[in-house]
Amino acid sequence: MSSFKPDIFAGKVAFVTGGGSGICYGMTQALLAHGANATILGRREANIRDAAAKLTKDTGKECLGIAGDVRKPESLKAAIEATVKRFGRIDFVICGAAGNFLSPISGLSENAFKTVLEIDTMGTYNTIKATIGEVKKAKGAYIAISATLHYRGSVLQAHVSAAKAGIDALMNVVAVEYGPAGVRANVIAPGPIEGTEGVARLIPKDVIAETTKAIPSQRYGTIEDIGNAGVFLFSPAASYVNGAVLVVDGAQWHNSTTSKSVPYPDMFLEEGDTRSKIASRL
């Protein structure tokens, strides 16, 4: 049972990057369940269209699935045009396209580092540039999906930490530049969320029970937790929340210690350490 009115977003339209799976799929589902229509954007055409069809079927609201790449401004512009043509407006934007993998700096190529920044940080910027005209008209709101990795140093995550820190800084500027126009821009920083590709890829199964003990709330988050946070931030209840970072992690980062899945610091003290050696230990 939802904590929010079922029709709180009736007549509203959302545009979501990275909405084909995981957290952003769940956030889109939550918006549709509360009356909005939506467009989700992703690079894999079959996947994004299947996801949109399922969202439409499950919620009874309309969801368009459009193949596109946030690194390509022309791709975003075409998706925005298609959304406005179909729905007439865009009220909410979720910037959620992202990439991640484990790598020490010693094994992280310049191109790999750049690619993550292009998807996460530049992708967020490109999405804002493509949508800001419509969001200003609607006096709408943005949510960018970040992380807590850059609050402290996180081993094997230099690329993602830099990318997410850039997103946080960018959204602060959007809030202060477009606040006078009635636009709000906030960030959700999730902790580990069960059932997502990120947890499956980055946290070995044999340490999940142990790492859960380090979370004060004693559990991993759920996609529904992030969906609820998104509904709140887009709702009238958050009308004075602008330029904020909402951390949804069960207080984990306040109690963070080095994960025992990563044999730190020995891994960095060995001569000639490589990405492949470290990956073999995870």
Q: Count Cβ atoms within 10 A of the Cβ of residue 170 and give its class: 0-12 exposed, 13-18 middle, 19 or more buried.
A: buried
Contacts of 167 (CB under 8 A, 6+ apart): 95, 120, 121, 124, 144, 146, 187
Question: 197, 21 in Cβ contact below 8 A?
Answer: yes
In 3D, which of 198, 253, 151 has the Cα closest to residue 23? Answer: 198
Cα distance between residue 204 and residue 254, in whole Å = 22
How many other CB atoms sit within 10 Å of the CB of residue 71?
15
pLDDT in tens, 34-78: 999 999 999 999 999 999 999 999 999 999 999 999 999 999 999
Q: Tens digit of pLDDT for each residue in 167-213?
A: 999 999 999 999 999 999 999 999 999 877 767 666 767 677 778 88
Could you please state the CATH topology (level 3) that the domain comprising 13-248+259-281 is classified under. Answer: Rossmann fold (3.40.50)
Query: Which residues contact residue 31 at a Cβ distance below 8 angstroms, ignoring those fewer than 6 apart?
Result: 9, 12, 14, 38, 92, 230, 231, 234
Check: CB of residue 18 under 8 Å from CB of residue 44. no
> Residue 274: is its pLDDT beyond 50?
no
Residues marked as catalytic: 146, 164
| Average pLDDT of the chain to the nearest whole number | 91
Contact 193, 147 (CB under 8 A): no
Written as one letter, the residue type at 15 is F
For β-strands 141-145 and 37-42, DSSP reports them as unpaired
pLDDT in tens, 215-261: 999 999 999 999 999 999 999 999 999 999 999 999 999 985 545 55
